[in-house]
């Protein structure tokens, strides 16, 4: 799963979208939250996201989960659980990747996706729109991106997080005795 915020300011953390992949890894869903073109009222979207994160036992995988958890806390009012009923249900591919491979390279999702899966610069179309609308990167507002471009970008973030998880599970299981 992944969140995108409306802007790049850490204090605001207004959620522009919540993205998740299904357990089989084939379906990808982007829920626009605070976006002017969203087909859903933001209150409804936040309730649905809250249900998915707080009322189910589904395993959650994020890249840099600390950031996404803070975004959820800022928008819903509580932190997503890392454990439920004695089971770990939240995994962070950024931490797991470093733990397993101990590589001294950028651990951000985009550099890893490009290095490992040859993703290319899938942010380019997003950046093109933002550069036309705003003079400085600090002023970028992700809710100003047309939904068709936003959906593709957010969906690819979720897709590459899932791919990282698939890559990390076998060596991580070895580190932890097959569990």
**H or E segment at 31?**
strand 28-32
DSSP of 39-98, one letter per residue? SS-HHHHHHHHHHHHHS----EEESSHHHHHHHHHHHHSSPPPSEETTEE-EEEHHHHHH
Output the pLDDT for position 178.
56
Output the pLDDT for position 44.
95
Please give the Cα distance from 10 to 49 (Å, whole number). Answer: 21
List residues bridging with 49 in a β-sheet: none
Please report the sign of the dihedral spanned by the C-alpha atoms of residue 126, residue 41, residue 76, residue 156.
negative
Query: Residue for token digits 């490009």?
Result: 114
Instruction: Kindly report whether the global pTM for this prediction surpasses the value 0.85.
Output: yes
Residues across the chain:
179
Output the pLDDT for position 169.
86
Output the pLDDT for position 88.
85
Output the pLDDT for position 135.
83
Which parts of the chain have pLDDT scores under 70?
10-11, 25, 176-179
**Phi/psi of residue 84, each to 5°?**
-150, 130
Do residues 136 and 7 touch, judged by C-beta distance below 8 A? Answer: no
Query: How many of the other CB atoms lie within 10 Å of CB of 4?
Result: 23
Q: Which of 102, 143, 103 is nearest to 16 (CA)?
A: 143
Q: Report the half-sphere exposure of 94 (CA within 13 A, side-chain side).
A: 16
Residues 6+ apart with CB under 8 A from 87: 57
Maximum distance among all Cα pairs of the chain, rounded to whole angstroms: 52
Output the pLDDT for position 52.
87
Kind of pairing, strands 28-32 and 15-21?
antiparallel
């Amino acid at each position: 799963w992944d969140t995108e915020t409306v802007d790049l300011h850490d204090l605001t953390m207004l959620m522009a979208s919540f993205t998740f992949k299904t357990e089989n890894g084939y379906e990808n869903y982007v829920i626009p939250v605070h976006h002017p073109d969203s087909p859903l009222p933001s209150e409804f979207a936040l309730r649905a996201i809250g249900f998915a994160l707080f009322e189910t036992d589904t395993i959650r995988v994020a890249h840099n989960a600390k950031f996404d958890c803070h975004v959820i806390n800022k928008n819903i009012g509580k932190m997503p659980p890392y454990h439920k009923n004695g089971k770990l249900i939240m995994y962070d591919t950024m931490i797991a990747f470093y733990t397993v491979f101990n590589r001294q390279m950028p651990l951000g999702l985009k550099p890893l996706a490009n290095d490992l899966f040859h993703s290319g610069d899938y942010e380019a179309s997003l950046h093109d729109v933002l550069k036309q609308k705003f003079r400085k990167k600090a002023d970028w507002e992700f809710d100003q991106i047309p939904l068709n471009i936003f959906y593709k970008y957010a969906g690819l973030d979720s897709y590459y997080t899932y791919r990282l998880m698939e890559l990390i599970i076998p060596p991580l299981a070895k580190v932890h005795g097959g569990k």
